[in-house]
Structure 1
Amino acid sequence: MSKRKVLFVASVAEHFHAFHRPYLKWFYDSGFEVHVACRGEFIDSNVSQVWHIGFERSPLSLSHIKSLIQLKAIIDDNDYALISCHTPMASVLTRLSAIVARKKGTPLLYTAHGFHFFKGASAWSWLTYYPVEVALTYITDAIICINTEDFDLIRTKGSSDTEYFVIPGIGVDSERFKPPLSEQKISLRDALNIDKDDFVIIYAAEFIERKNHRLLIDATERLRTQMKSFTVLLAGKGVLLSEIKSYVESCGLNRQIRFAGFVTDIEKYYQASDIVVSTSKQEGLGINLVEAMMCGLPPVATIDRGHGTIIEHGVNGVLFAQDDLQALADAIFEIYSNDERRSKIAKSAIKRAAVFDIANALDAMTRIYAQFLDKDTRSS
């Protein structure tokens, strides 16, 4: 008797690397044959088949037609017990490709890692993505959200026949992300060539417009006259990296700002730091903040649906208005200059971050998977 198959779909392999390995393992351990479809190379011992699809992010790309045809052929040729799709455009194509499969009994679940339409989003985002997502609820069995703003909106406007869920993110490994002992912090700073006496601010984010790195750079320029010795670590890669490096140089901030590049051991950088910052214009949740908070860092972040899901202002972090340069600089300086407040927020941050532990997310998500697998009554 052959194993039942499941299919995970996301636009790029990095999405699976970053978020989905525990879930792929859960299916494998539960006796399923696991398939994934994405652009790029992906290797995982729990995955039997990787389908290479040339997904594009832009909703206007003509290559979507080819991806749609490829994906439909894959879904029609495999009798999947469940399909789990992620990322906007890949999920649009998956749901269109799986219309026939759903009619035959394959449950189709979409996990929204943050809708492109949200309070404060551009008219373009609302006009482009909102009507499509609402329409697609009518051919989706379940929508899973990671923040309450997305959840409240889509369940109100979407199909009443679709089931809606909100889960505590996609999970962070608290065994990997944890506060260092004082001697470990000193050792890490030595290994990373960071002065042991510096106050270290970290922002781990892709270098794209949405992450708004320039705001933190401008705040750094203001803070260099107030703070004696500090370092800003910018970790990540992206299309704007060269442009941001040039901007830092033009501001004369090469001493204060350091580019760590794309790192696979980001926990070491968090554990060597004193505070985490996010100047992002919008986040579905903000996993980088959760990781840093687990390592004992007080967070300073923009007011946003995702950040607001994680941070209670003044309790386990500080929230400031979008693009408010002075508020950002003031928040960083306050935490820098007040050891007692920094320690208090850090302790609360660790406690809050525990909610988003992978064990909690995995439990919530696998309960949903199990619910829909039970509905799949086809013979294996």
Structure 2
Amino acid sequence: MKARVEDKIDMRHRLRIVHVITRLINGGADENTVHSCNWAAQGGHDVVLLHGESVHPEIMAKVDPRVKLIGVPSLTRSISPVSDVRALLALIRRFRALNADIVHTHTSKAGILGRFAAWAAGVPAIVHGVHIVPFVNVGVAERFAYLALEKLAAPVTSAFISVSAGIRDLCLSAGMGRPDKHYVVHSGFDLDRFRNAGPPDDWRDLLRLTPGAPRPPVLLMIAAFEPRKRHAEFLDVFKKVAVRLPDAVLVLAGDGPLHSIVESRAKWLGLERQVVFTGYRDDPERLIALADLCLLCSMREGLPRVVMQYLAGGKPCVACDLPGLREVLRPGINGVITPADDLAAMADAIAAVLEDRERLACLAQGAAATDLSNWDVKLMGKRIDAIYREALDQHRASRGVSTRPPVRNVALPR
């Protein structure tokens, strides 16, 4: 969709913006990156998106045609000294050739290599998007390595953009950069798409209902099938829910490397009748409209967009405690928060909410009434643009060059 006239960027201040991400899959950080690229390109900036070799066609199809896509095959998610050096050198060459004003990196690996490469290439402003904190809920050695690299990269980082205040605070407490370099910009999306959705037309087939069968209680979790999402571990405790509510159906939407393993786990646990695997769906808003209660049991996240999408769809959420989650999920009002290390407690909470229909209805009302204006995708784009401008002005000021007038009407969120 083309940007409206009032969303257009002053062409006198057109920027060359290069985004860098390790992979483009169906995840929150990837969708955030695509939205950021699209908004800037639709407003008139020159935008390039550099990505590693791991890509999904569904997310690639969402990239605006005005955004130039360039693959960097050596940019891989796993640690590989040879590939990492190649990726670093490739990124330096790209940044120099593109003559970038801004380099905006996303995710941990691309964030480290991309920022060092941008510094070596002399890019004026280097911005890092913090979608998740890589040093939380990991081993001691992994935590030490991540923190050491992040602290090395912090001095060359013009601005950090965190998806929640909780993530920003974790970064600052770990010594990653100065407070004045950190901003919070929530990961925006199309709110109306989720507020106005109805269930899928084929919802009865999706739930595998026989003709005339009543609609069962529906639980929904939308998440990529990756270790940190803990699908398999959740299925182990979901058996408790299945015993208390034998007619409940758990819908697991998404795809990823662990999909087949989790599906096999469900069969081994005897849950084939109560667990539905949808694979990737391009209509998450319709699945949310179908659900009674939505879930997230990740061990590590930023402030996941999917929780806001649940609430935008008017559905309460039961989630494990995560940094920043309480900015929007309020226990007893629009959801339930359980300890991050106790999935059994999460299962108990799910069953308790489903068994109390009056409580469920109250939580649904609270979800629908949640103020999500800070997650508007256009506001996200405007705030990021303002941060770019401030970073460039600070760069010019450090060189004794006069700065342009500040961007008006967009508060910079610290």
Same fold flag (TM > 0.5): yes
Residue-by-residue CA offset, 1:260-309 (whole Å, 9 max, x unaligned): 11111121111111111111111111112211121111100111214334
Spell out the pairing of 1:35-54 with structure 2 (5 A cutoff). 35-40=48-53, 42=60, 44-54=63-73
2:21 to 4, 7, 10: 10
Residue in structure 2 matched with residue 149 of structure 1 by the alignment? 166
- 1:114 and 1:285 map into 2 onto residues whose CA distance is 8
Which stretch of the first structure deviates more once superposed, 93-102 or 265-274?
A: 93-102
Which residue is equivalent to 1:63?
Answer: 83
Find the counterpart in structure 2 of residue 115 from structure 1: 133
> Which runs of no fewer than 5 residues in structure 2 stay unpaired?
1-11, 402-414
Contact preservation (8 Å) 2:18, 2:49 = yes
Which stretch shows the higher mean deviation, 14-23 or 232-241? 14-23
The residue aligned with 2:5 is none
Partner of 1:243: 261
Kept in 2, the 8 Å contact 1:36–1:47? The answer is no
Matched, 1:342 2:360: yes
Deviation at 1:215, TM superposition (A): 3.3
Q: 1:303 to 1:187 in 2, by over 3 A?
A: same
Task: Rate the CA distance shift 1:366–1:2 in 2: closer, same or farther, 3 A.
Answer: closer
Change (3 A) 1:161 1:259: closer
Give secondary structure in 1 for the equivalent of 2:369.
Answer: helix
Contact 1:140–1:162 at 8 Å: present in 2 too?
A: no
CA distance in 2 between partners of 1:368 and 1:50 (Å): 23
1:282–1:304 CA contact under 8 A, matched in 2: yes
Choose the corresponding residue for 1:32, options 40, 45, 50: 45
Spell out the pairing of 1:95-114 with structure 2 (5 A cutoff): 95-102=115-122, 106-114=124-132
Query: Structure 1's 274 and 93: CA in aligned 2 closer, same or farther, altered over 3 A?
Result: same
Structure 2 letter corresponding to 1:10: I
Report the TM-score, using the length of structure 2 for normalisation. Answer: 0.82
Report what 1:295 is aligned to: 313
1:94 aligns with 2:111: no
- Mapped partners of 1:258, 1:13: distance in 2: 25
SS of the residue 2:389 aligns to: helix
State the 1:138 CA deviation: 0.4
- Work out whether residues 138 and 162 of structure 1, in 8 Å CA contact, stay in contact via their aligned partners in 2: no
Displacement, 1:193? Answer: 4.5
- Which residue of the partner structure matches residue 412 of structure 2? none
Which residue does 2:98 correspond to in 1?
A: 78
Distance 1:360 1:343 in 2: 31
Check the 8 A contact 1:279/1:302 in 2, yes or no. yes
Whether contact under 8 Å (1:82, 1:107) holds in the other structure is: yes
TM-score (norm 1): 0.89
For the aligned residue pairs, the C-alpha RMSD in angstroms reads 2.7
Cα drift, residue 189 of structure 1: 2.2
Moved more, 2-11 or 67-76: 2-11
* Paired residue type of 1:81: D
Q: Does 1:137 align with 2:154?
A: yes
Q: How does 1:237-316 map to 2 (within 5 A)?
A: 237-316=255-334
Q: 5+ unaligned residues in a row in structure 1: which ranges?
A: none
How many residues are matched? 372
Whole-Å separation in 1 of the counterparts to 2:261 and 2:34: 33
SS in 1 for 2:334: coil
Are the structure 2 counterparts of residues 124 and 206 from structure 1 closer, same or farther at C-alpha, using a change threshold of 3 Å?
A: farther
Give the 3-state SS of the residue equivalent to 1:35 in structure 2.
Answer: strand
Question: Does 2:145 align with 1:128?
Answer: yes
Residue 326 of structure 1 and its aligned partner are, at CA, apart by 3.3
Distance 1:141 1:150, change over 3 A: same
Equivalent residues in 2 for 1:186-201, closer than 5 Å: 187=201, 189-190=203-204, 192-193=206-207, 195=209, 197-201=215-219
Q: Could you tell me which amino acid in structure 2 is paired with residue 214 of structure 1?
A: A
CA–CA distance in structure 1, aligned partners of residues 248 and 98 of structure 2: 56
Does the 8 Å CA contact 1:143/1:162 hold for their aligned counterparts?
A: no
- The share of aligned pairs that are identical, in percent, is 23
Evaluate the alpha carbon distance shift between residue 158 and residue 251 of structure 1 in structure 2; reply closer, same or farther with a 3 A threshold: closer
> What is the identity, as a one-letter code, of the residue corresponding to 2:181?
E
1:363 to 368, 382, 390: 382
Q: How far apart, in 1, do the equivalents of 2:393 and 2:371 lie?
A: 32
- CA distance in structure 2 between the partners assigned to 1:222 and 1:154 by the alignment: 37
